[in-house]
Amino acid sequence: MRLFRNSLTLSLVALIACVQPHDAPLDEEVLMAPPVEEDYRPVPETSGGETTSFEHPDSIGRSQVTVEEVLTRMTEEGPVEYSSRVHACRKMPYSTLGRVLEGFGVDLQDDGATSAGRLYRRGAQALGAPNYGARISESSDLTTASAAKLFDIMVQAAPDIIANVPSLERCELGGEPSAVFRDDGTCSRNGLSCLLGERATMAHVELCDDTVARADDPDEGRIIAVASMLAAAFTCE
């Protein structure tokens, strides 16, 4: 009896489906509508601006970059497995950072509460220094903590660096000393070149002058400008 009822139910369903009109015209908008890709997600913009973060190239996505452009980029930069290693920015080793600071005349043994030397010595863990006792090698990646600690150190070291650059032999040009700032307070291209370890561009000079001009106190502006330049140079920005 139960089997008969199930068969009757299936028969009624099939009969109702058969009497539905199949020759009814379909909506033209439905016919012309493109297929919907359920996995499609809009590619977010990664370009920066005057009020946002750093400028980055647009992401590789279906709506922004063509296959030919991706192929050209891979041909120029190499496979991802290669380019991610060659073009990556590694963290400056802890000992190298110490030598750089000493090269600018910063006293790493200074035990002042907010001195650059004390921040450097006590910030070894945040800076990814090796822990030989625990058999932990030095971190090669730049983390948020290490970047923040690096900038803190540069801010505290900036006054000493500004004062010491004119007396550094390696910062001389043609036997004449170079200073980070001229007598009128503007940024010197030769002084910035000594800070960065490469020939500074006019964009560096303009950014330095703009940083000083935006500060409420010119002396604080010069400190922030030098710290920003050094921190950016040591983090590949």
For 13-31, the pLDDT digits (tens) are: 444 444 444 444 544 444 4
Whether 183 is in a domain gets the answer: yes
Q: What are the C-alpha distances in Å from 170 to residues 107, 146, 159, 183, 196?
A: 18, 28, 19, 21, 12
pLDDT > 50? residue 145:
yes
Percent of the chain with pLDDT over 70: 69
> Which of 123-127, 155-159, 233-237 is modeled with the greatest confidence?
155-159
Domain contains 111: yes
Q: For residues 176 and 12, what is the distance between their CA atoms, to the nearest angstrom?
A: 102
Select from 94, 97, 88 the least CA-distant residue to 157: 97
More confident residue, 23 or 124: 124
What pLDDT does 158 receive? 95
Q: Which residue has the tokens 């590789």?
A: 60
Judged against a pLDDT cut of 90, whether residue 235 lies above it is answered with: no
Asked if residue 66 is part of any domain, the answer here is no
Q: Is residue 80 part of a domain?
A: no
Number of domains present in the structure of the chain: 1
Tell me if 154 is assigned to some domain: yes
The pTM for the full model equals 0.62
Q: What is the mean pLDDT of residues 167-181?
A: 88
110, 116 Cβ separation under 8 angstroms: yes
In a domain, 89, yes or no: no
Contact in structure between 130 and 137 (CB atoms under 8 Å): yes
Q: What is the mean pLDDT of residues 176-204?
A: 91
**Can you give the residue range of the structural domain that contains 146?**
94-234
Q: Specify if 39 maps to a domain.
A: no
Q: At 4, is the pLDDT very low, low, confident or very high (cuts 50, 70, 90)?
A: very low
Residue 226 lies in a domain: yes
Least confident of 60-69, 83-92, 101-110, 222-231: 60-69
pLDDT bracket for residue 67 (50, 70, 90): confident
Provide the token pair at 202.
């006019």
